[in-house]
Chain A
Amino acid sequence: MAIAVMRFWSTSVGKKMVMAVSGVVVFGFVLGHMLGNLQIYAGPEKLNAYAAFLQGNKALLWAVRLTMLTAVILHVLSAAQLWLQGRRARPVAYHRQELVVTTYAARTMVIGGPIIAAFVIYHLLHLTTGHAHASFVPGDVYSNVIAGFQVWWISAFYILGNLMVGLHLYHGVWSMLQTLGASHPRFDPWRKRGAIAFALAVTIGNVSFPVSVLTGLVP
């Protein structure tokens, strides 16, 4: 068993699958997180109650946190190792190379990852622990969010971070399907469309929060 796992991990194809599966876990969280946060539009009581419910269930909370943490570690570890392997695979770069079909999203996966990581760290200090928040009130998620987003540059940073997440999602979702071998001529065209829809939904949802606060849509 241990040998089989090591062998799996030792190949780029295996690592790529670890990356895909861990990516899915994080994506799942991001989607759920976004849907939960939509309750901002239902007012402070609703959102705060939801947050309290989540915080209240310690076992669930830590299960989710541990899963997330493991996924993120595996994801980052595999990404880093693969990236190094890719660099080694072409030690002398082309003087000129024209890429013709790859997307901006695909090319920015490696830079996008750390930016998202930086965003998440900031985000945790900002809205979870409050260390980076001027008027943090533990428990009052709603006002923390509103107060936070009223500072325009914080909102701008959130928007930027979430656009990056969107890009990562767009390539990530279709790439993950390909990596896990989910391909069939009949639904292949839908993989990219699905990825766009998914990425758009999450990004629009997330970006809508700072935008709504800035435009005063959410008091």
Chain B
Amino acid sequence: MNFTLKVWRQNGPEERGGFDTLPAEDISSDTSFLEMLDIVNERLIEGGKEPFAFDHDCREGICGTCGCMVNGQAHGHERGTTLCQLHMRSFRDGETIWIEPFRAKAFPIIRDLVVDRSALDRIQQAGGFISVRTGAAPDGNAIPISKEKADLAMDAAACIGCGACVAACPNASAMLFASAKLSQFALLPQGQPERWDRAQKMVAAMERAGFGYCTNHGECEAACPKEVSLRFIAQLNRDYLRSSVTR
């Protein structure tokens, strides 16, 4: 298969960027999207040109490192799929593919398609944990948790922290990410003691990081490779409201 890539190139956060037009020729349809980028970069290096930078690591959809906008959609057009799991057979031969970094004030561009998502870490550091010390835990079966609750908490915990929700949101809001983290703990009995404090702290950290607001567009859920549900945003709202009143 043959493609024309329009790849965003930008040398640093403060530099001006622009699209570079690169051919991607003779690509097998079994190639994954990132492998296609590898091939294009290999050819650039062997031709003496600078390759473009993109983030990736596990290449099996779990680490959350990869991700950019492909033809205007975070992680590309396939639902429930990270960029590294997208394959070239789902593109049309001869297609022009636009590749842009995730854009948000809270995600400054480091280089080309690589952005700094440490803002997501800061939201978690603000309160996305249960304060239990090593060694201080009761037996694992001491508190029974209904399967339904545990499964729901797992749905929230499935978030891979890729930031696609922010990228896809018309307002660059991190609500889906923050709510997934918060809900995991809000749903489990272990998370109750710090529940209300956590809600206040995580929301405050999200604001400080410079994310936008949520007007319930739902684009985040559609882009999320782990299909994290919007209902967790409602959970965050509920916990935030309640903690604001009771605190």
Q: CB–CB under 8 A between A and B in the complex?
A: yes
Residues on A facing B (Cβ under 8 Å): 4, 7-8, 10-17, 82, 85-86, 88-102, 106-107, 109, 171, 174-175, 177-183, 185, 188
Of B59-67, B126-134, B156-164, B215-223, the segment with at least 4 beta carbons within 8 Å of chain A is B215-223
A12 and B214 contact, CB distance less than 8 A: yes
Interface residue count on the B side (C-beta < 8 Å) = 49
A/B interface sample: 30 pairs, CB < 8 A: A4-B247, A8-B244, A11-B207, A11-B240, A12-B211, A14-B240, A16-B237, A17-B241, A86-B212, A89-B210, A89-B211, A90-B103, A90-B212, A96-B69, A97-B72, A98-B77, A99-B217, A100-B219, A100-B222, A101-B217, A101-B219, A102-B170, A106-B215, A106-B216, A107-B217, A175-B215, A175-B216, A178-B237, A179-B237, A180-B238
Cross-chain contact of A89 among B71, B100, B172 (Cβ < 8 A) = B172
How distant is the Cα of A160 from the Cα of B36 in the complex, in angstroms? 50
Report B8 CB to chain A, min CB distance, Å.
Answer: 8
Residues in B whose Cβ lies below 8 Å from that of A88: 105, 210, 212
Which of A8, A10, A17 has the most chain B CB atoms closer than 10 A to its own CB?
Answer: A8
B102 to chain A, nearest CB (A): 10
B223-247 vs A, Cβ < 8 Å mask (1 yes, 0 no): 1000000110111111111001001
B106 on the A face (CB < 8 A): yes
The answer to whether B222 and A101 have CB atoms under 8 Å apart is: yes
Which residue on chain A has the smallest CB distance to residue B240?
A13
Contact assessment for B72 and A101 in the assembled complex, using a CB-CB cutoff below 8 Å:
no
Residues in A with CB closer than 8 Å to B69 are 94, 96-97
CA distance A99 to B222 in the complex (A): 9
Q: Is the interface of B mostly helix, strand, loop or mixed?
A: mixed
Query: Which chain B residues lie closer than 8 Å to A97 at the CB level?
Result: 69, 72-73, 170
From A89, A97, A185, residue with most partner B Cβ within 10 Å: A89
Closest to B244 in A: A8
Contact B241 A101 (CB under 8 A): no
Q: Mark B16-37, 1 if CB is under 8 A from A, else 0.
A: 0001000000000000000000
B203 and A11 contacting across the interface, CB-CB below 8 Å: yes
CB distance from A26 to the nearest CB of B (A): 17
- Is A188 a contact of B231 with CB atoms below 8 Å? yes
| Chain B 88-108: CB-based contact to A (< 8 A → 1; otherwise 0) | 000000000010100111100
Bound Cα distance from A91 to B109, whole angstroms:
12
Known: A15-B213, A101-B222. 14 other contacts (CB 8 A): A13-B213, A85-B212, A86-B172, A89-B104, A95-B98, A95-B100, A98-B71, A179-B214, A179-B237, A180-B238, A180-B241, A183-B234, A185-B231, A188-B231
Closest chain B CB from A110 CB (angstroms): 8
A95 to B72, CA, bound (A): 8
- When C-beta atoms are compared, the residue in chain B nearest to A81 turns out to be B213
The listed residue (A4, A90, A171, A178) touching B244 by CB distance below 8 A is: A4
Which of A99, A181, A185 contacts B237 (CB under 8 A)?
A181
Q: Decide yes or no whether B145 CB sits under 8 A from chain A.
A: no
Complex-state Cα separation, A188 to B218, whole angstroms: 14
CA distance A88 to B105 in the complex (A): 7
Alpha-carbon separation in the docked complex, A3 to B72 (Å) = 42
B156 CB to nearest chain A CB (Å): 13
| B1 within 8 A of partner (CB) | no
Chain A residues within an 8 Å CB radius of B106: 89
CB distance from B235 to the nearest CB of A (A): 7
With a cutoff of 8 Å between Cβ atoms, the chain A residues found around residue B77 in the complex are 98
CA distance A18 to B207 in the complex (A): 17
Contact of B173 with A by CB under 8 A: yes
Distance between B209 CB and nearest chain A CB, rounded to angstroms: 10
State which of B71, B219, B221, B223 has its C-beta within 8 Å of the C-beta of A96. Answer: B71
Say yes or no: B237 contacts A90, CB within 8 Å.
no
Task: Check if B171 is an interface residue, CB within 8 A of chain A.
Answer: yes
Say yes or no: A109 contacts B215, CB within 8 Å.
yes
Q: Does B204 reach chain A (CB closer than 8 Å)?
A: yes
Q: Once the chains bind, are A182 and B234 in contact (CB under 8 Å)?
A: yes
Q: Chain B contacts of A95 at CB under 8 A?
A: 8, 19, 98, 100
Could you say which of A4, A15, A94 has the most chain B C-beta atoms within 10 Å of its C-beta?
A94
List residues of chain A with CB within 8 A of the CB of B236: 13, 181
